[in-house]
Amino acid sequence: MPDAHTFSVKDESDIVLSGFIGFLDPPKESAAVAIEALSHHGVRTIVLTGDSEGVAVKVCNKVGIPTENRLTGLDVEIMNDEDLKEIMPTISLYSKLSPNQKERVIRLYQELGHTVGFLGDGINDALALRQADVGISVDTAVDIAKETADIILLEKDLMVLEQGVINGRQTFGNVIKYIKMAVSGNFGNMFAVIGASLFLPFLPMLPVQLLVQNLLIDFSQIGIPFDKVDEDYTVQPRKWNTKSILRFTAIFGPFSAIFDFLTFIVMWFVIGKMEGATVANGQLAPLFQAGWFIFGTLSQIVIVHVIRTKKIPFFQSNASKPLIISSILCAIGAIVVAFTPIANMLSMTSLPLTYVPWLLLIIISYAFLTQLLKRLFIKIYGEWL
């Protein structure tokens, strides 16, 4: 009765069934497309749900997730971790899970070496969101899910997940570019400085010159975060690999030092003699330092474009406009410093134009031989970045 506010057992009589009310919660139209796109990029989609097995199977079939191999919460409960991990690689659907079971399944996938992202929007998803490497929720989720998640999707389109994966791999690739280039370059410079200190009667470069050189090189690399990444690099997941960085540094660091030593030889035996500069008259040291200053700066700028891709730079793969612009501007700045009276401000001697052919020869040889060594490195180790 409309005006009744208190009900009891006696009211449950003479009731007429008028019908049933059901709730329809179909999967998003973009779900199937997003799952296929993620699969193309090496991301496997697995469903962990508290819903019944029948509902879960129905939804999975609509979005293209295989359901032949599946487990329920009861199955998960009676299995120990080792037995469960043995069959997990074949399972794509877990239904009727409790919050603790969701967390456990994610933990076991992590123990198997997987990086796990979890998308959830309910109270029961909070533990799983916290356990996952990347917790993802939506802006319409309950507060505890949004507070636990690392990422909140603002668009009602699951294709943003694919774009997020691609952007993440591009960012990771650019980070690896910088680390490998910087670490190997510094390692090579260490060899060059030690070698020069053993044989030269003066410092190969003064502190103020090193600071200006590093400033120019750092500015030239401002465009690296905005650089493009080869398409084939984003197809498969990437993981941090310290051994790969150490291997790269051990090979390309000493290799770069070889060209530093060639620069030393040219400056000492060729340019120094042509200019009549000697240690005794105090002219060789500032001239020598200017020669290494410009080579070290330009070679670091050029080699970034060789390292940034496993393809042939400038022909098969070009850098982004920000990186090209920053490289050109800083290269011009280095040339102006080394070949004009500005060099005197840094306790260097401005270089003669007779050094230009030697400089170009060494830099081009460095880039060309680095490209050849890169191809050999990829052939032996099957990796680059």
Backbone angles phi and psi of 67, in degrees to 5: -125, 10
Q: How many domains does the chain have?
A: 2
Residues 51 and 109 in one domain: yes
Residues 47 and 142 in one domain: yes
Backbone angles phi and psi of 160, in degrees to 5: -65, -20
Residue 196: CATH number of its domain: 1.20.1110.10
Residue located via tokens 């098969």: 316
Residues 87 and 157 in one domain: yes
Two tokens at 119?
Answer: 């998308």
> Is 214 a member of any domain?
yes
> Is 3 a member of any domain?
no
> Is 40 a member of any domain?
yes
Beta strands in 91-147 (DSSP E): 93-95, 117-119, 134-138
Tens of pLDDT, residues 112-168 = 999 999 999 999 999 999 999 999 999 999 999 999 999 999 887 888 999 999 999
Q: Report whether 56 contacts 93 (CB < 8 A).
A: yes
Residues 177 and 127 in one domain: no
Q: Report whether 374 contacts 384 (CB < 8 A).
A: yes
> Is 32 a member of any domain?
yes
Range of the domain at 103: 21-162
What local confidence, expressed as pLDDT, does residue 4 receive?
63
Tens of pLDDT, residues 166-221 = 999 999 999 999 999 999 999 999 889 998 888 899 999 999 999 999 999 999 99
pTM for the full model? 0.83
Residues 213 and 104 in one domain: no
Residues 222 and 308 in one domain: yes
What local confidence, expressed as pLDDT, does residue 21 receive?
84
- Residue at which a domain ends, from 117, 145, 162: 162
Residues 153 and 179 in one domain: no
**Residue 281 or residue 91, greater confidence:** 91
Tens of pLDDT, residues 319-366 = 999 999 999 999 999 999 999 999 999 999 999 999 999 999 999 999
Two tokens at 91?
Answer: 């399972």
375 to 56, 148, 317, 369: CA distances (angstroms): 49, 45, 15, 10
CA dist., res. 337 & res. 315, Å (int): 30
Residue 71: CATH number of its domain: 3.40.50.1000
Residue located via tokens 């496997």: 44
* Confidence grade of residue 1 (pLDDT, cut at 50, 70, 90): low
CA dist., res. 330 & res. 338, Å (int): 12
What local confidence, expressed as pLDDT, does residue 3 receive?
56
What local confidence, expressed as pLDDT, does residue 198 receive?
87
Residues 127 and 200 in one domain: no
> Is 1 a member of any domain?
no
Residues 215 and 362 in one domain: yes
Residues 260 and 156 in one domain: no
Residues 89 and 28 in one domain: yes
* Confidence grade of residue 2 (pLDDT, cut at 50, 70, 90): low
DSSP β-ladder status, 93-95 and 70-72: parallel
Tens of pLDDT, residues 237-292 = 888 899 999 999 999 999 999 999 999 999 999 999 998 988 888 899 999 999 99
- Residue at which a domain ends, from 137, 162, 187: 162
> Is 198 a member of any domain?
yes
Two tokens at 98?
Answer: 């409790």
- Residue at which a domain ends, from 162, 189, 207: 162
> Is 4 a member of any domain?
no
Instruction: Give strand pairing partners of 89.
Output: none
> Is 114 a member of any domain?
yes
Two tokens at 29?
Answer: 């139209």
Residues 120 and 195 in one domain: no
